[in-house]
Structure 1
Amino acid sequence: MKVDKHLFCALTQFWNPAYSCFTFRKVDLVPTVEEYMALLQCAKIQVDRVYSRAVNAPIFLKRLMNITGMSEQWVTARIKQNRDNKCISWKNLKNIVLAHPDANKRIDVFALSIYGLVVFSKTLRHVDEAVTDLFDRLDKGVTPVLAILAETFRSLNACWRAGEGRFIGCAQLLLAWFHSHFWKVDKVSYQEEDVEWRAPWLLPDKILYRCGDFGWVPLLGI
């Protein structure tokens, strides 16, 4: 999906950081865990573990070794320090995708690169350490949606406060969600009460709408 920069910039102007939602006059819209799970077609992943985090998670070096299938010496030589985080160059990962003898490893490294370069593009042409943590947990059946939404909300808040800036997140996915809520039928007059604000593709299911005693509060905004 091609990103319409002008539409995306306009969309960020409607972001309400106080309530962590988009406000269009009397209508508030916010991407939910359930909607993103439907868009990413990962509804079969363990929903009850959406907020879980491993206590003894492997370090960046070990995660890269597990994902790439490369030796400790090879990985250590290619890890770079970028400010407070560590990362690895896409150039190094590309070589694995093209030449690794294990087809499954080639697929895993390519998928990791998509997450690091497109979904969580933090450092240009590099995959950040945090992305490998997310990718490592995917194999354990933990949904990536929470991390994607959290990064989306954080970046929207940062862009809104600064009035500008680079959006670090999956812009394509956010725009796909946005388009799913806004549609137009020519030559038909609709009143406000005739419109139901929901995605037509979202299957009815249980939703998360409460955090402790706080009802109707976006869980990611707490």
Structure 2
Amino acid sequence: MFRALAQYWNSTYSCFTFGRVDLMPTIEEYTTLLHCPKVQVDRIYSRLANIPAFSKKLMNITGMSEQCVTTQIKQKGDCKCIPWRNLRDLILAHPDVKKRVDVFALSIYGLVIFPKALGYIDEAVSDLFDRLGKGTTPVPAILAENFRSLNACRRAGEGRFIGCPLLLLSWFHNHFWKVKKVSYRIFSENYSPLKELVATPRRDDVTEENWMTILQNLQEGDVEWRAPWMVPDEILYRCEDFDWVPLLGI
């Protein structure tokens, strides 16, 4: 499905184009999907010029000694990484429960959300994760990496999507299929589109060619412009002294 979907990515405008329909994931949608507090929206992560060494960040996150961390760091291509198997052993044996949770969360970021080197967690992920505890939002970085990866796949005509496929799949599923909306879920703090998607049986028997046919035949009426779990809380209705300003089409 992702190989087919990437062929409809418009690198010029950073959106998916299906016939007359243009749509892309937004910061607001990914913030809702990831249950990130809105108070963090203005604190966007950006990589600093002078950042602590990889070993120092790992020591802070894992609680391991410098000697132990240094021996586990590997070089994979142009980046430094730590093998997932080493972190897995630490999760199972670490005496500090909070550190176990932190290491597990770091592993999720490295293996699922930013899976650059398969089976490894790289230095860039540790820098982002180290800043999350300070109230920094990861959403723009996650979205930017999705766009960058889609651009690369589209330019090369092939390649591996480096990003969180579950997030993109949840976004796609709720915009392009007419789903049954249950109103209480929209306003429930415990409702998660990602959990619902994981619980939904997958169709692994649909080929890339069949997905291409499905995407080629998408019509404007097949598109749900607002995801059912997005509750609009800000509406533009005035521009200075002019009420009810007509908005331009997409």
Same fold per superposition (TM over 0.5):
yes
Amino acid across the alignment from 2:59: M
- TM-score (normalised: structure 2): 0.73
Shift of 1:47: 1.0
Question: 2: distance between equivalents of 1:195 and 1:160?
Answer: 23
Shift of 1:196: 5.7
Residue from 112, 116, 140 that aligns with 1:118 = 112
Question: 1: distance between equivalents of 2:106 and 2:163?
Answer: 15
Counterpart mapping for 1:30-109 below 5 A: 30-50=24-44, 52-54=46-48, 56-109=50-103
Q: Which runs of 5+ in 1 are unaligned?
A: 1-6, 208-215, 217-222
- Where 2:111 maps in the other structure, the secondary structure is helix
1:144 aligns with 2:172: no
1:177 aligns with 2:171: yes
Shift of 1:98: 0.4
Shift of 1:13: 1.3
Cα 1:52–1:131 change in 2 (3 A) is: closer
Contact 1:45 1:143 in 2 (8 A): no
Q: Which runs of 5+ in 2 are unaligned?
A: 181-218, 236-247
- Where 2:42 maps in the other structure, the secondary structure is helix
Contact 2:45 2:141 in 1 (8 A): no
Q: Deviations over 1:124-180 (max 9, x none)?
A: 111011110110111011111111111101110111111111111101110101111
Residue from 21, 41, 44 that aligns with 2:15 = 21
Amino acid across the alignment from 1:146: P
Contact 1:45 1:142 in 2 (8 A): no
Amino acid across the alignment from 1:181: H
Question: 1: distance between equivalents of 2:72 and 2:20?
Answer: 51
Q: Which protein is bigger by CA-based radius of gyration?
A: 2
Cα 1:26–1:70 change in 2 (3 A) is: same
Cα 1:113–1:42 change in 2 (3 A) is: same
Q: Deviations over 1:166-207 (max 9, x none)?
A: 111101110101111122379xxxx95897612121121459
Amino acid across the alignment from 1:128: D
Quote the residue 1:197 is aligned against.
225
Identity %: 70
Quote the residue 2:209 is aligned against.
none
Q: Detail structure 1 runs of 4+ shifted over 6 Å in the superposition.
A: none
Contact 1:81 1:87 in 2 (8 A): yes
1:12 aligns with 2:6: yes
Q: Deviations over 1:59-102 (max 9, x none)?
A: 21111000000000000111111121100001110111000100
What RMSD in Å do the two structures reach over aligned CA positions?
A: 2.3
Quote the residue 1:210 is aligned against.
none
